[in-house]
Structure 1
Amino acid sequence: MAGRRVSKWVVAVPMALLALATVYPLVFTANVAVKTRREYVLDRFSPADALRWDNIAAAWTSVGMSRYFLNSALVVTCSVALLLLFGSMAGFALARLRFRGSSVLFLGCLAALFIPFQVIMIPLTRVMADAGLVDAYPGLVLAYVAQFLPFTVFLMTSYYSTVPAEIVDAARIDGNTVYGVFWRIMLPLGRPALLSVGVLNALFCWNDVLISLLMMPSADHRTLMVGVTSLRGQYSDDIPVFASGVLIAAVPVLVVYLFLQRQIADGVTAGATKG
């Protein structure tokens, strides 16, 4: 009995410290965001005297965070929609259709996961510039799709491989074409994995700075994270406004994770085992 209690504490204490280290930066940022500049200069760690929303309102309107927020929402929505469409179709084809070169294609997707974006960013930028897609929303959407599609294909292929082959065979016997099997059978069965990979890709695209900074150089087309990064230089003497911008960028991610954390975990582990 005593050994079990000790083992529980050995696990609980590090987990509690890890949770505290994760939550504290967000609490500190929220506390700074509702402070005045004078309060922050006098004591940056003490609780705010009152809840003031002036800094958040200023970051949303005067600084232009509302425009950056809409830019990110547009780009992320289009990117995730294309990733789910192409990723689910490719995953179904690689998992259930037998054609020459399917194994090589799947290995190519795995190999693409190990290529850092820094290796391809210069050729990608030159290709996009030659095509006139730099500083344009379609160019950024295509860059996100190219960067995160291998991960999507890998996850969807792993998930569709767990679907019993008898289901596909029965659908074909009933007269469904390959497209009918995908749209009527496999796509509805893949909802857990689609939800998981969709949320993960949305977080990847939302939190991205490097790709967006390369593809969207103008201030009007900046995404939210690039806009927050630019605030650090513009408002270096007004940290509460900068903290408000960070808070605006963090809240959507936090809300998505809080409401969909179980679905994310279920979708990621769904293709881990057969049957």
Structure 2
Amino acid sequence: MRGNRIGRWIIAVPMAVLAIATVYPLLFTANAAMKTRRDYILDRLSLTDALRWDNITNAWTSAGMGRYFVNSLVVVTGAVALLLLFGSMAGFALSHLRFRGSRAVFLACLAALFVPFQVIMVPLVRTMADAGLVDTYPGLVLAYVAQFLPFTIYLMASYYSGIPRDIVDAARIDGNSTYGVYGRIMLPIGRPALISVGVLDALFCWNDVLIALLLMPSAEHRTLMVGVTSLRGQYSADIPTFASGVLIAAVPVLAVYLFFQRRIADAITAGSTKG
């Protein structure tokens, strides 16, 4: 009994420390965003005595965070839609359609997961520049699709491989074509996986800095995370405004994570439990 109690403490204490280390930066940022510059300079660690929204309003309008937020929303929505479409179709094909080279294609997608973006970023930027896609929304959307499609295909193929082939065969006997099986059978069954993978892809695209920084050089087309990095230089002496920009970027991610945390966990473990 005593050994079990000690074991629980051994697990609980590190988890509590990790939780505090994770939550504290967000609380510190929120507290700093509610202070005036004078209050922050005098005592940066004290709790604010009032909720002041002027810094957040200033960051949203004067610092351009509102425009950056819309840019990110447009790009992430387009990228996730294409990722789910192509990823679900490719996952269905690799898991249930028999064609020559299917195994090699799946292994190629798996191998692509281990290629760092830094290895391909120079040829990617050159290709985008030659195609006239630099500093455009379609260019950044296509870059995100190319970067995160192998991950999406892998998880969708892993999920679909757990669906019995008898269901697909029965749908074909009923007269469904390949596209009919995909649209009428596989998409409804794969809805939980689509939601889980979609949330992860959205978080990846939303939090990206490097790809957006390379392909969106103009201030007008910056994404939110690139805008936050630019605030560090522009408002280095105005920490409350900078903290407000960080808070604007962090709150959507935090809300999505809290709302879809079970879906995220399911997506992370899908590859090890399916197929």
1:168-201, CA deviations, whole angstroms, 9 ceiling, x for partnerless residues?
A: 1111111111110000001111111111110000
1:204-258, CA deviations, whole angstroms, 9 ceiling, x for partnerless residues?
A: 0000000000000000000000000000000010010000000000000000011
Structure 1 residue ranges without an equivalent (≥5): none
Runs of 4+ with >6 A deviation: none
For residues 80 and 111 of structure 1, the distance between their equivalents in structure 2, rounded to whole angstroms, comes to: 22
CA RMSD after TM alignment: 1.0
Instruction: Report if aligned partners of 2:155, 2:197 keep a CA contact under 8 Å in 1.
Output: yes
The structure-2 alpha-carbon separation of the partners of 1:58 and 1:177, relative to structure 1 and needing over 3 Å to count, comes to: same
For residues 142 and 274 of structure 1, the distance between their equivalents in structure 2, rounded to whole angstroms, comes to: 29
Number of residue pairs aligned between Structure 1 and Structure 2 = 275
Q: CA deviation at 1:270?
A: 4.1
Match for residue 12 of structure 2?
12
| More deviation, 30-39/262-271 | 262-271
Match for residue 215 of structure 1?
215
Instruction: Report if aligned partners of 2:79, 2:145 keep a CA contact under 8 Å in 1.
Output: yes
Match for residue 242 of structure 2?
242
Match for residue 90 of structure 1?
90
Match for residue 230 of structure 1?
230
Q: CA deviation at 1:271?
A: 4.9
Match for residue 108 of structure 1?
108
The residue correspondences of 1:167-182 to structure 2 (distance < 5 A) are 167-182=167-182
For residues 274 and 237 of structure 1, the distance between their equivalents in structure 2, rounded to whole angstroms, comes to: 51
Match for residue 26 of structure 2?
26
The residue correspondences of 1:63-78 to structure 2 (distance < 5 A) are 63-78=63-78
Q: CA deviation at 1:265?
A: 1.6
For residues 21 and 50 of structure 1, the distance between their equivalents in structure 2, rounded to whole angstroms, comes to: 25
Aligned AA (2:38): R
Match for residue 39 of structure 1?
39
Aligned AA (1:168): V
For residues 268 and 181 of structure 2, the distance between their equivalents in structure 1, rounded to whole angstroms, comes to: 23
TM-score (norm 1): 0.98
Q: CA deviation at 1:62?
A: 1.0
The residue correspondences of 1:148-227 to structure 2 (distance < 5 A) are 148-227=148-227
Structure 2 residue ranges without an equivalent (≥5): none
Partner SS, residue 93 of structure 1: helix
Q: Find out whether 1:120 has 2:120 as its counterpart.
A: yes
Q: CA deviation at 1:112?
A: 0.5
Match for residue 262 of structure 1?
262
